[in-house]
């Protein structure tokens, strides 16, 4: 991983600023609608569920879509629509909290490291580079093996995994800004670190940071769903969308909607966020999976 | 190629930094032991164990030694090829991992063999004719694949090729391979679904690297000279994009390692993944840590190799 990657996004906004017709294009609109849809589902979904989440309501298992069960039933005969409405809340909520944690800690340290410099900067870079050298799935497996899987552990682990990436991006962006004249002026004026970070640097890097936040959210959703799919994420009786795919994987042979719809739900959420990021004025940050 | 002193020094620094990172990673992985609430010996023996039995097991497992001493003996054991015994069935971790690891490596190797050439050709082609319908299609499909979970790609592949078309078996087992066609049938599905993910990832980064190189002033000069698009890409842009492309390949192959785990579970492939996932569920730390160290070191080897290739391929360093 070269530094060029992390520095690259800093150039993006300047290049894009020249051509900035502020029309909302189709893909951006689709993305925005999809993301809002899932946020609303996460907020009020469980209240809309036609059946009880855990109740076995159908004698048949993996039954196809019908009037009573709009998305069919699962491997025990539970209503998939109701289960998905609740599962979406777990997916969105856990991913959102973990991403917020990772982004705020990473950005805070990144901006501080770039502003302070010196040995503190070197120490932080070394520390986060070590964490980033552990493949994300491996990292979560090691932590879950030692702590067991629960929702707080999942949030903490995933946040920790994606903090170094946020740190690198924020630091690289802030380094470019910290070298500018107006920051030098603020330093000469005798402003404190807190002021410089908050009032001079942050407003100039917030666009790319938001894009990075969206991208990070996508990676978090993918990792969380992957863990749940392996049976190491959200544990029964709770279920997120990845758990639903795992539970109903036996229905794959019959092409049951029980396994297809949760998988499609994850895909629409992540693709939706990607479409929004692509249409942000700041443009898309580096394409690595971190 | 003139391997001058500066190149040698840059490579040495890179390798040394990779080794230092590896050491720090091993500390992090070992430190996971201390996250475990309570005492491992108590956890193994259960609640009814007598204090004497717990103390005996602690001694047998060297848990009474200070942490740094345990770390060092674990590290040297790992380096010497003896990562200890499984906590669950007391078998040597190496015996458990050995045969399965080669299966996983075979799967990963075959996938890399298929996906790297395809991705490089498609990525470079997309950059050459960027903005064309071909480029837009490639970009759209690859961003779609990159943003969905690996298991979705794999389940869709099962649905299409095994359930709907009946071309391939949905499960794979290396046991019944007796001919080339059987081999192809067993590996086709896992390799296909893994390749989809890796190729999409690699295309995006390769395309970005070549597009970056195409934006430089020497490419502008070549264009003004009247060189055609293919010549510009192959002769002018590509040599300068080798470094970024190498790191794109390395990063994608590291994604491959995570993907291998998910895909092996879906296809019931007898690789290291099932072992790892079961070990995580039963909290068998020695096994988990060994597999984690194997994955982390292969990741670092990949990334470091890419950096060395980038150093060697940099025309500015080579022609001095």
pLDDT in tens, A110-129: 888 888 878 888 888 888 88
Q: What is the CA radius of gyration of chain B?
A: 24
| A98 pLDDT higher than 90 | yes
Note the pLDDT tens digit of each residue in B299-320.
888 888 888 888 887 766 665 4
| Rounded average pLDDT over B222-235 | 81
Instruction: Give yes or no for a contact between A209 and A173, defined as CB atoms under 8 angstroms apart.
Output: yes
Instruction: Give yes or no for a contact between A230 and B265, defined as CB atoms under 8 angstroms apart.
Output: yes
CA distance A125 to A1: 13
A287 in any annotated domain: no
Picking from A134, A137, A146, the nearest residue to B33 by CB comes out as A146
Of A2-6, A245-249, B93-97, B159-163, where does mean pLDDT reach its minimum? Answer: A2-6
A114 in any annotated domain: yes
Around Cβ B37, how many Cβ atoms within 10 Å?
9
Per-residue pLDDT band for B261 (boundaries 50, 70, 90) equals: confident
| CATH number, domain with residue A132 | 1.10.3720.10
Angle in degrees, CA A283, A139, B242, rounded to 5: 50
Q: Give the contacts of B85 (CB within 8 A, at least 6 positions apart).
A: B91, B92, B93, B286
Cα nearest neighbour of B289 on chain A: A142
What is the number of structural domains in chain A?
1
A184 in any annotated domain: yes
- Residues 255 through 284 of chain A touching chain B, CB cutoff 8 Å: 255, 259-260, 263-264, 266-267, 270-271, 273-274, 278
| Rounded average pLDDT over A12-21 | 46
Note the pLDDT tens digit of each residue in B185-215.
677 778 888 888 888 888 888 888 888 888 8
A289 in any annotated domain: no
Three-class DSSP category at A228: helix
CA distance B202 to B92: 37
Query: Among A199, A211, A109, which residue's Cα sits nearest to residue A160?
Result: A109
What is the interface pTM, i.e. ipTM, of the complex? Answer: 0.78
Of A18-22, A72-76, B117-121, B289-293, where does mean pLDDT reach its minimum? Answer: A18-22
Residue range of the domain that includes A69: 42-51+65-278
Q: Count Cβ atoms within 10 A of the Cβ of residue B246 and give its class: 0-12 exposed, 13-18 middle, 19 or more buried.
A: buried
Q: Detail the DSSP E strand segments found in chain B.
A: none
- The one-character DSSP state at A233 is S
A102 in any annotated domain: yes
A220 close contact with B: CB closer than 8 A: no
At residue B269, the pLDDT reads 79
At residue A284, the pLDDT reads 53
A186 in any annotated domain: yes
- Six token digits for residue A95: 């991913």
The pLDDT mean for chain A works out to 80
Are B247 and A2 a contacting pair at CB < 8 A? yes
A135 in any annotated domain: yes
A37 in any annotated domain: no
| A289 pLDDT higher than 50 | no
A288 close contact with B: CB closer than 8 A: yes
Around Cβ A260, how many Cβ atoms within 10 Å?
21
| Rounded average pLDDT over B127-155 | 83
Query: Among A149, A143, A138, A275, which residue's Cα sits nearest to residue A218?
Result: A275
């Amino acid at each position: 991983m070269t530094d060029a990657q992390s520095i690259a996004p800093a150039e993006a906004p300047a290049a894009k600023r020249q051509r900035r017709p502020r029309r909302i294009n189709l893909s951006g609109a689709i993305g925005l609608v999809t993301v809002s849809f899932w946020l609303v589902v996460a907020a009020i979904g469980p209240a809309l569920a036609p059946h009880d989440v855990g109740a076995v309501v159908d004698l048949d298992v993996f039954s196809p879509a019908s009037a009573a069960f709009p998305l069919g039933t699962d491997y025990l005969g539970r209503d998939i629509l109701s289960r998905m409405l609740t599962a979406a809340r777990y997916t969105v909520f856990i991913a959102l909290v973990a991403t917020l944690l990772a982004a705020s800690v990473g950005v805070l340290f990144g901006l501080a490291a770039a502003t302070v410099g010196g040995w503190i900067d070197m120490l932080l870079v070394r520390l986060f580079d070590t964490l980033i050298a552990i493949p994300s799935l491996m990292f979560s497996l090691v932590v879950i093996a030692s702590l067991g899987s629960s929702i707080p552990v999942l949030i903490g682990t995933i946040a920790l995994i994606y903090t170094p990436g946020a740190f690198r991006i924020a630091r690289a962006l802030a380094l470019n800004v910290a070298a500018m004249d107006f920051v030098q002026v603020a330093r000469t004026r005798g402003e404190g670190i807190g002021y410089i970070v908050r009032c001079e640097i942050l407003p100039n890097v917030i666009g790319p940071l938001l894009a990075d936040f969206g991208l990070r959210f996508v990676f978090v959703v993918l990792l969380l769903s992957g863990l749940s799919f392996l049976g190491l994420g959200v544990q029964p009786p709770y279920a997120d969308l990845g758990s639903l795919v795992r539970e109903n994987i036996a229905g794959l042979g019959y092409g049951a909607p029980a396994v297809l719809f949760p998988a499609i739900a994850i895909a629409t959420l992540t693709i939706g966020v990607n479409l929004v990021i692509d249409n942000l004025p700041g443009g898309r940050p580096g394409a690595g999976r971190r | 190629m003139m391997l001058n002193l500066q190149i040698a020094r840059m490579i040495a620094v890179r390798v040394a930094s990779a080794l230092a990172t590896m050491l720090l990673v091993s500390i992090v992985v070992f430190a996971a032991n201390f996250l475990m609430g309570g005492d491992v010996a108590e956890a193994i023996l259960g609640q009814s164990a007598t204090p004497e039995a717990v103390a005996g097991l602690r001694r047998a497992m060297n848990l009474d030694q200070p942490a740094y001493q345990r770390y060092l003996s674990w590290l040297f054991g790992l380096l010497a090829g003896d990562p200890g015994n499984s906590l669950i069935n007391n078998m040597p971790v190496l015996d458990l991992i050995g045969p399965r690891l080669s299966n996983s490596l075979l799967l990963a190797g075959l996938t890399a063999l298929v996906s790297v050439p395809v991705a490089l050709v498609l990525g470079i082609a997309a950059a050459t004719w960027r903005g064309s319908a071909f480029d837009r299609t490639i970009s759209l499909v690859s961003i779609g694949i990159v943003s969905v979970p690996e298991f979705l790609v794999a389940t869709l592949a099962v649905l299409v090729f095994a359930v709907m078309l009946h071309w391939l078996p949905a499960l794979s087992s290396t046991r019944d391979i007796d001919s080339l066609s059987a081999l192809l049938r067993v590996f086709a599905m896992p390799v296909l679904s893994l390749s989809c993910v890796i190729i999409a990832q690699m295309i995006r980064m390769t395309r970005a690297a070549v597009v970056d190189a195409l934006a430089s002033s020497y490419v502008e000069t070549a264009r003004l000279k009247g060189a055609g698009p293919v010549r510009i890409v192959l002769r002018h842009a590509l040599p300068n994009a080798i470094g970024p492309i190498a790191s794109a390949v390395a990063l994608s192959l590291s994604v491959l390692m995570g993907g291998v785990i998910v895909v092996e579970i879906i296809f019931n492939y007898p690789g290291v993944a099932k072992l790892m996932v079961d070990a995580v569920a039963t909290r068998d730390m020695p096994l988990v840590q060994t597999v984690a160290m194997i994955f982390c070191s292969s990741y670092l080897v990949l990334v470091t190799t890419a950096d060395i290739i980038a150093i060697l391929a940099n025309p500015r360093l080579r022609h001095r």
